[in-house]
Amino acid sequence: MIYRNKWEKNNKNNDSSIKLIKLHGSTNWLIAHTSFDINNGNIILTNDNPEMFYAYEYTKDPYSCYRGRYLGGYQDYSYGYYPPNIPDVELKVPPDHLVGRMMLKTPFTPVGISNESGFVSMPLIIPPIKHKKYSFFGSLFPSLWEYAMQSIINSDTILILGYSFPKTDVKTNELFTSSFLKRNSIPNIIIVNPFPELIYNKFIYDFGIPKKNINVFKDYINEEYDLNRIL
């Protein structure tokens, strides 16, 4: 379901020619809030289907959220203070466990202006930490990474805009290595970065791309950047 001033089913078939694959999720993707099993340190998802998630687009009216602490004035695809509660969530509780909630009242906590119906949600996003837990959400993230791999395998030209391939992003480096090994041809690589030297060397020495297939533009990227000048 998608929140467009209210929860509604996503029946829109938007077959855009541009596919945006959010490999780490998104702040406007929502899932039921997780619980934590302190007995063995395992994360337990409180919704019955971790692959089913919700999305927030916009609101005109206050929505239901945790403690009713809605704040307005935000642009579309962002929300204030707490994301909207999601409906129709089936709790998934291990045997011999109880679900509880503890709230502390302090004079500094804001007073809610909306209601609390529905189930408390949180953004479905994997933050940029060293050990990223993609497996917590079923096959959702593996399927996104597989889609990205097939896109790299089938692309004639690959643009690297601003991304610098840090050593800590092991999964992305593995993605490109695995994708290039499965290709039947060598793609053309376009790198746009103010400091492109390390990226250029990575594509040559780590990924095995010949120098003649790489074009480098030592530029910054912003919303007014004209991609036609490099294509």
Are 158 and 187 spatial neighbours (Cβ–Cβ below 8 Å)? yes
Rounded Cα–Cα distance for residues 172 and 135 (Å): 16
Task: Write out pLDDT tens, residues 88-101.
Answer: 766 666 677 666 66
User: What is the rounded average pLDDT for all residues in the chain?
Assistant: 85
Q: Would you state the pLDDT for residue 148?
A: 96
pLDDT at residue 112 tops 60: yes
* Average of per-residue pLDDT across 23-42: 75
Rounded Cα–Cα distance for residues 59 and 61 (Å): 6
Crossing angle of helices 170-181 and 140-154, rounded to 10°: 50
* Average of per-residue pLDDT across 7-18: 75
Predicted confidence band at 164 (pLDDT cuts at 50, 70, 90)? very high
Q: When comparing pLDDT for 221 and 42, which is higher?
A: 221
Sketch the domain layout of the chain as residue ranges: 1-131, 155-229
- pTM to 2 decimal places: 0.79
Q: Would you state the pLDDT for residue 136?
A: 73
Residue 171, phi-psi category: left (phi > 0), alpha (psi -120 to 50), beta (remainder): alpha
Type of residue numbered 67: R
State CA 160 to chain mean position distance: 19
Type of residue numbered 6: K
Predicted confidence band at 223 (pLDDT cuts at 50, 70, 90)? confident
Predicted confidence band at 17 (pLDDT cuts at 50, 70, 90)? confident
Task: Write out pLDDT tens, residues 186-213.
Answer: 999 999 999 999 999 999 999 999 999 9
Q: When comparing pLDDT for 19 and 130, which is higher?
A: 19
Rounded Cα–Cα distance for residues 161 and 109 (Å): 42
Closest CA to 28 of 83, 87, 65: 83
Are 86 and 3 spatial neighbours (Cβ–Cβ below 8 Å)? no
Closest CA to 55 of 148, 135, 123, 134: 123
Q: When comparing pLDDT for 131 and 164, which is higher?
A: 164
Predicted confidence band at 4 (pLDDT cuts at 50, 70, 90)? very high
Q: Would you state the pLDDT for residue 135?
A: 74
Rounded Cα–Cα distance for residues 231 and 229 (Å): 6
Long-range contacts of 170-174 (CB under 8 A, 24+ apart): 171/132, 171/134, 171/145, 172/23, 173/206
* Average of per-residue pLDDT across 20-39: 80
Task: Write out pLDDT tens, residues 76-86.
Answer: 998 888 999 98
* Average of per-residue pLDDT across 118-145: 81
* Average of per-residue pLDDT across 30-47: 65
